[in-house]
Amino acid sequence: MKEQIKQLRLDLDSLARYSEDINERLMQGTEPSPGEKIIDDTDWSAQVESCTQCLLFSKAWLGKLLAEYGDEPSPYKDGKSAVSDIEPTDSKVSIAPGGNDKTIYTTIDPEPWAELPTHVSRVDLLRQVIGSIAEKVKQLTNLPGSREAAICRTQSWTYLTEARFYLGFEFERLKQKEDDKAI
Integer angstrom CA distances of residue 83 from 79, 80, 89, 91, 150: 11, 8, 13, 19, 32
Is residue 113 assigned to a domain?
Answer: yes
Is 8 part of a structural domain of the chain? yes
Examine residue 86 and state whether it is found in any structural domain, yes or no. Answer: no
Identify whether 85 is part of a domain.
Answer: no
Please report whether residue 88 resides in a domain. no
Quick one: pLDDT at residue 118?
A: 83
Can you tell me the distance from the alpha carbon of 52 to that of 6, in angstroms, rounded to the nearest whole number? 19
DSSP structure string for 80-100: --SGGGPPPPTT-----TT--
| Residue-wise pLDDT tens digits, 75-89 | 555 555 555 555 555
- Judge whether 83 lies within some domain: no
Q: List pLDDT tens digits, range 113-150.
A: 667 778 888 899 999 999 999 999 999 987 777 888 89
- What pTM does this model have? 0.77
- Count: domains in the chain: 1
Residue 7, domain extent: 2-30+42-76+103-182
Query: Does 123 reside within a domain?
Result: yes
Give the number of C-alpha atoms closer than 13 A to the C-alpha of residue 67, restricted to the C-beta side. Answer: 15
